[in-house]
Each structure stands twice: as structure tokens, then as C-alpha cells.
């Protein structure tokens, strides 16, 4: 399109100079934007098994039960398929759509402002994933380990096992993996009634409205949230432990050598004795993480992996919540840039840790 626009301008008598060359690019951008449309994307998801709520929203994402979605929209979908003319083709496509969506109980929808269609799809999936990340943070790995959107193939919902014996007789075993989190009937009221909800909603909406371009203070939280969510869905315990600690490091480390266990302990305690105890516990956990990363731990037979994974998740979850609560205070602190404000916050955590240790010695 740029070549065509350049040719059109030149043939039309346009005399290009260094001062007006940008006009050609502006004309191309304007034409491209004229062809963009606002799109709403509908993505099947595994979220929660309980159906006491037919629909709910997390930030800019609305989730609706699959059966209700098709009841409300099947006529419009069929109308679109009628453009193929041949009814059998439309029915085949609808059947394939239903097969794909049948493994998921929920349909997530999100509306993306006008942009390129491929970019729109990527933005939609990123926005939906952030909403699922928030859900997984609140619910935890024991129940939300398989929560995902339909395009995520890391955890298969269906599986087939094919084996043979020495007699060469084959046997097949079919199965499905439960994806949705098991909760009680009041799960959404409990989730939204927690103290973190309004902060989580604010960060999600800021992320969405700014096209993902947020300051470093919020970006660190969103990155750490993604690492925490990945860890929850990770089946290998060693990798899960590492990812939880990456989440904590993303929150609390600004440069090599930063003592993230000390900072995490400050975030989660008020009293000196509690700080000292929790700091030691986190340091032991971090040493286990280091044993996995640097090779001194044998992932095949270490008995402590399960407990370390559980404790690391708790540490990551708590750090995420406490950092989230601190975001407004960090934004309001002194400093010309978000980086300076963040650095000041981390130094403040170090100063609190120093005070705790001084009080203990006294």
C-alpha cells in the first residue's frame, strides 16, 4: 500500500521533500485505519464448574455459559454460514464449531477497538488470559490448575491411550481431564467481595485501555501475575517452584544481588519476630529453588518438591497481593519517573528490614 500511495502522490504532481514526506505515511495510515472495525472475540474457556452464575465479568472480559451463548447466538451464526450457499457446508462448519466449543463450559467475550484483524485477535487472547490469571491467583493451584482458554494446548481436555501386549493385542483407553475449578455456589460473590478485587479490576482496566502500555510499577505486577498463573498450570513441580520465584523476583528485584526474600518478608509481616521467622522460611525456600536451578537437586526423587511448591505458591500469592495494595502508594510517592518511585519503594522495604534486625539485636 505504501508503494501504491507513493506512486499516486507522484503521478498527481506531489513534490516530495524531507519536510512533507511524512504526508505519504499519514495517508497510508489513514486508509488502513478506515478499513478497521471494532471486533468482539468469543473464546471458549475452562473457568469454574459451578453454574450458579450464568454470566460474570472479570475486568473487560465477560464470561457466559456455553449453552446460553449458543441459545442466544446460534441463529446469527447460522445466518453467517448461509453465505456459503450449500447448506451442507454450513452445517459441517457449525458442527465443527460445536465440537471445538463442547470441551469448554464458558465462552469469554471481549471487544477490541478498531485495529488490524490479527492484532485484534492477539489482543483479545491476551486480555482474556489476564482475566484468567486473576481468577487463578485468587482460587489457587489446587482448584484452578487446568483453567485455560481454548487456544491454550498445554493441558489437553481429552486423551487417548494406545498400548499393546506381547501378543500384539491393542487396547484403547479414552478419558477427559476436568478443566473447570471446583467452587461453591457463592464463589463469585466471595471473589469480588475480597479486599483485592477493586485493585485487580483497576489494573486490568488500565492494562486494557492503554493497549497494554502501562508504567513499570503496574507492568511488574502484570508480568509477575503471568508467571504465577503459568506456575499454577505447570505439571512439573520443579518448574512450578522456579516460576513462582520468578514471579516474586519480577516484583521485588531491580538489580542483581537484591535480597528478595527479605523484601518479601517485610511485605507480609508487621512485627519484628514475625519478620525474622518468615525471612528465614523464605530464605530456605529460595535455597531449594536455587538447588533446582543450579543442579544440586535431583528432580526424580526429592521428597520436598511437593511441600516446596505449595509454600512457594503461598509466598508468590502473598507477594502479589501486598505489592498490588502498595501500587497506589508507590504512584503517589516522590520521584520523577515510575522507575524512581519503584526504586524508592524497594529501598523503603530494605530500610524496614534493617529496622527489624536492629530491634532484634537490641
pLDDT at 5: 46
In a domain, 193, yes or no: no
CA gap 245, 24 in Å, rounded:
49
Same domain, 360 and 231: yes
Tens of pLDDT, residue by residue over 286-301, are: 999 999 998 877 776 6
Tens of pLDDT, residue by residue over 76-128, are: 888 877 776 666 777 888 888 888 888 899 999 999 998 888 999 999 999 99
In a domain, 179, yes or no: yes
In a domain, 88, yes or no: yes
Write the DSSP symbol of residue 334.
Answer: S
What is the grid cell recorded at 47?
473457568
In a domain, 319, yes or no: yes
Domain count across the chain: 3
Mean pLDDT of 133-140: 96
What is the grid cell recorded at 131?
482475566
Lowest mean pLDDT among 3-12, 137-146, 295-304, 311-320: 3-12
Same domain, 118 and 242: no
Nearest to 45 by CA among 71, 32, 63: 63
CA gap 117, 38 in Å, rounded:
9
Same domain, 12 and 56: no
Same domain, 53 and 74: yes
- pTM, two decimals, is 0.85
Same domain, 177 and 144: yes
In a domain, 99, yes or no: yes
CA gap 283, 261 in Å, rounded:
6
Same domain, 221 and 331: yes
Q: Pick the more confident residue, 297 or 200.
A: 200
Same domain, 28 and 42: no
In a domain, 204, yes or no: no
- What is the 3 state secondary structure string of 202-249? HHHHHHHHCCCCCCHHHHHHHHHHHHHHHHHHCCCHHHHHHHHHHHHH
Q: Do 77 and 100 touch, CB atoms closer than 8 A?
A: no
Same domain, 26 and 57: no
**Structural domain range at position 17:** 2-34
Nearest to 50 by CA among 149, 199, 190: 190
| Mean pLDDT score across all residues of the chain | 87
Same domain, 116 and 254: no
Q: What are the φ and ψ backbone dihedral angles of 112, each rounded to 5 degrees?
A: -105, 130
In a domain, 9, yes or no: yes
Of 162, 184, 206, the one marking the end of a domain is 184
Same domain, 166 and 85: yes
Tens of pLDDT, residue by residue over 252-288, are: 998 888 999 999 999 988 899 999 999 999 999 999 9
Same domain, 245 and 104: no
Same domain, 147 and 228: no
Amino acid at each position: 500500500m505504501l508503494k501504491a500511495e507513493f506512486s499516486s502522490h507522484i503521478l498527481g504532481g506531489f513534490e516530495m521533500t524531507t519536510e512533507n514526506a511524512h504526508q505519504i505515511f499519514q495517508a497510508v495510515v489513514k486508509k488502513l485505519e478506515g478499513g478497521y472495525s471494532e471486533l468482539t472475540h468469543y473464546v471458549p474457556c475452562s473457568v469454574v464448574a459451578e453454574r450458579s452464575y450464568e454470566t460474570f465479568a472479570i475486568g473487560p472480559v465477560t464470561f457466559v455459559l456455553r449453552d446460553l451463548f449458543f441459545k442466544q447466538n446460534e441463529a446469527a451464526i447460522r445466518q453467517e454460514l448461509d453465505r456459503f450457499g450449500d447448506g451442507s457446508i454450513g452445517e459441517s462448519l457449525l458442527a465443527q464449531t460445536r465440537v471445538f466449543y463442547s470441551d469448554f463450559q464458558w465462552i469469554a467475550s471481549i471487544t477490541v477497538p478498531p485495529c488490524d484483524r490479527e492484532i485484534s485477535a492477539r489482543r483479545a487472547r491476551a486480555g482474556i488470559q489476564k482475566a484468567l490469571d486473576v481468577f487463578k491467583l485468587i482460587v489457587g493451584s489446587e482448584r484452578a490448575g487446568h483453567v485455560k482458554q481454548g487456544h491454550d494446548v498445554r493441558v489437553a481436555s481429552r486423551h487417548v491411550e494406545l498400548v499393546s501386549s506381547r501378543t500384539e493385542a491393542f487396547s484403547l483407553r479414552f478419558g477427559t481431564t476436568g478443566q473447570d475449578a471446583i467452587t461453591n455456589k457463592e464463589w463469585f460473590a466471595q471473589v469480588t467481595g475480597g479486599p483485592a478485587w477493586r485493585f485487580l479490576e483497576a489494573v486490568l482496566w488500565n492494562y486494557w485501555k492503554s493497549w497494554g502500555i502501562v508504567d513499570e510499577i503496574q507492568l511488574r505486577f502484570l508480568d509477575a501475575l503471568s508467571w504465577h498463573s503459568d506456575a499454577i498450570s505447570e505439571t512439573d513441580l520443579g518448574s512450578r517452584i522456579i516460576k513462582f520465584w520468578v514471579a516474586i523476583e519480577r516484583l521485588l528485584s531491580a538489580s542483581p544481588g537484591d535480597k528478595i526474600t527479605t523484601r518479601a518478608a517485610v511485605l507480609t509481616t508487621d512485627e519484628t519476630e514475625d519478620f525474622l521467622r518468615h525471612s528465614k522460611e523464605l530464605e530456605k525456600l529460595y535455597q531449594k529453588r536455587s538447588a533446582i536451578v543450579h543442579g544440586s537437586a535431583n528432580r526424580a526423587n526429592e521428597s520436598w518438591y511437593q511441600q516446596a511448591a505449595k509454600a512457594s505458591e503461598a509466598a508468590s500469592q502473598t507477594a502479589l497481593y501486598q505489592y498490588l495494595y502498595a501500587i497506589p502508594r508507590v504512584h503517589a510517592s516522590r520521584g520523577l519517573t515510575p522507575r524512581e518511585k519503584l526504586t524508592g519503594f524497594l529501598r523503603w522495604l530494605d530500610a524496614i528490614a534493617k529496622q527489624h534486625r536492629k530491634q532484634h539485636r537490641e
